[in-house]
Amino acid sequence: MATLTNRAKVLEQKPLTFMERLYLPSIFKGMAITFKHIFKKKATISYPEQTRPFSPVFRGLHVLNRDEQGRENCTACGLCAVACPAEAITMEAAERQKNEEHLYREEKYAAKYEINMLRCIFCGLCEEACPKDAIYLSETFAPSNFTRKGFIYSKDELLIPNPVTEKEKYETAKGLREAQLKK
């Protein structure tokens, strides 16, 4: 038979020895390894019932912040979008009307604010660039989704619950991050 190289080797199939034919020594050897690991500390945890503590520098899902009166902090200046290396942020600015002072802290606000989580690399530069403490990266994962569109988070999904009308939800959304940063 013609071969391309001379590296082919004919393997010899040796008959099994008596001990190998018994199989028991190999089974005991395998079971010994299994039992040895039963008493060792587990490297895994039962997620999601158990969770590991986050690192103090963990950067997760973005949150659009409100002030203590429940007004949106964002003034749609666009600095976060400019700072974003992944070009993941888009927004549309709007002027605050006279009767909207209780909704928006500044004279301008983001009528539309979107983050494309498929582009985001969770670098945190948007948070650093923001002069209004209007965006921060929380301790929450971006949940999985079935469609690309589902990873484009709108303002409604990003906005933190109102601390005046939804105090409990607000505290939960805020997470432990700020407490950890103060340590």
Q: Which residues contribute to the site for ligand SF4 (CB under 6 A)?
A: 74-80, 83-86, 88-89, 91, 110, 115, 120-126, 129-130, 132, 134-135
| Alpha-carbon span 115 to 173, nearest angstrom | 18
- Cβ-based nearer residue to ligand SF4, 11 or 71: 71
- Report in angstroms how near the CB of residue 158 gets to ligand SF4 at its nearest: 10
| Alpha-carbon span 21 to 44, nearest angstrom | 36
- Report in angstroms how near the CB of residue 142 gets to ligand SF4 at its nearest: 10
| Alpha-carbon span 166 to 124, nearest angstrom | 27
- Cβ-based nearer residue to ligand SF4, 115 or 160: 115
| Alpha-carbon span 172 to 163, nearest angstrom | 11
- Cβ-based nearer residue to ligand SF4, 66 or 161: 66
- Report in angstroms how near the CB of residue 151 gets to ligand SF4 at its nearest: 12
Count CB-CB contacts under 10 A for residue 67: 13
